[in-house]
Amino acid sequence: MTVAVVGLGHIGLPTALLLAQRHEVVGVDVDETRVATLEAGELPLEEPGLDALHAEVEDSFTATTAMEPADAYVITVPTPLDQRENVADLGFVRAAVESVADVVSSGELVVLESTVPPGTSERLVQPILADAVDDVAYAHCPERAIPERTLEEMTSNDRVVGTDGAATETIRDLYAFTDGELHLTDPTTAEFVKLAENTSRDVGIALANEFATLAEGIGVDAHEAIDIANEHPRVDILNPGPGVGGHCITTDPWFLTGADAQARLVPLARDINDGMPDHVLGLVREQVAHVRRPRVAVLGVAYKGNVSDTRETPAGRFIRRAENDGYDVRVHDPHVDSYDEPLVDRETALDGADCAVVITDHDAFRDLSPADFDGMRTRTIVDSRNLLAHDTLREAGISVSVLGDGTQG
């Protein structure tokens, strides 16, 4: 079977290479630089295991900027958030579907993996395909993988497949690379499932963050309280932190609710999580209130620990707010090579700093010792991830403020 994968980003490229293990695959992307990189035998992104997989399938995978006819089409283009209206921008999806509609033939299969609001398949995608040709099989199979573990999750996670029942065997053949189960349903339910998964996590994190801010006011340690509460067999509270990042969890709740005025909990959770960088900045202000023109060392800009992905990272909001307050901000992240702000090594970031702020829970930060902070002008730390050895640092005379710990001070 010949498969065209439309969109060669963080999801599309790994998907295309996995498919190329069993099929002839053409990857289609409008980014000429990305395509040229692939055609030169190189990869435009980093992901564990991707280099080896690319080398394995080099004879069955090609990349191009022009849509080509195939037996099956898999669409994996981005769906950004229109931040003015908090609704999905479906421009890339529409363009991709229209390009497929120009070449698709009767009896072929079109799969949309892009995350979309409920009803997108029924109201947008399927009508475009139906206008182009009769008898096109369609399925919505939303991706469910995270950066740095993409191949592992693509080959092991269950998949939800929304289809009208047509071409079921072709779909099973297409996704034979996964050991997970295929859960068959209709397209709208499949759209809802993906959004519900990420919205549930966003709401859970918001609850943990609410507990953290409440604990600070009440005078208890939220982390201790959560650990004890989680000993109950029916309780599973997540960890509080400086906010939520990554492309999916910050946008999918809005895709689910759209402009629905009846939605209450989901928008509130978004507001709570979006407000956490400001809350962390408030903890920093308390630490450096006596310092004129404070210098702040930000430790971590990846949206979560041990990854290089900075999309929608809460560190970005924190840095912007801190700079607006007149702070001199230096940024260090051992996993990130480039960012909107200049990156420096850890020693340079901490040298002369008045406050070190842990934003990302990288393992590299867990074992920081008092000596690592000797170069600071004022040895104060705000730990928004409850990551450091607080007692050891305090015994060395370092002032440590921990998000969610109301027992300190």
What is the rounded distance in angstroms from the CA atom of residue 188 to the CA atom of residue 75? Answer: 17
* Eight-class DSSP state of 221: B
Q: Which residues does 339 contact at the CB level (< 8 Å), separation at least 6? A: 301, 310, 331, 333
Q: How far is CA 132 from CA 95, 109, 325, in A?
A: 14, 13, 55
Residue of 141, 248, 304, 355 marked active site: 248
Torsion of CA 231, 232, 234, 240, to 10 degrees: -50
SS3 87: strand
- Tokens representing 185 are 């349903």
CB atoms within 10 A of CB 217: 8
CB atoms within 10 A of CB 290: 8
What is the rounded distance in angstroms from the CA atom of residue 318 to the CA atom of residue 291? Answer: 19
248 flagged as catalytic: yes
- Tokens representing 370 are 């008092």
**Positive or negative, the Cα torsion across 394, 400, 406, 409?**
positive
CB atoms within 10 A of CB 174: 24
What is the rounded distance in angstroms from the CA atom of residue 67 to the CA atom of residue 73? Answer: 10
* Diameter over CA atoms, the chain: 74
CB atoms within 10 A of CB 202: 23
What is the rounded distance in angstroms from the CA atom of residue 148 to the CA atom of residue 145? Answer: 9
- Amino acid identity for residue 369 in this structure: S
What is the rounded distance in angstroms from the CA atom of residue 298 to the CA atom of residue 321? Answer: 13
Please compute, for residue 319, the number of CA atoms within 13 A of its CA located in the half-sphere on the CB side.
Answer: 22
C-beta separation of 93 from 75 below 8 A: yes
194 flagged as catalytic: yes
- Tokens representing 327 are 């702070």
Could you list the active site residues? Answer: 194, 248
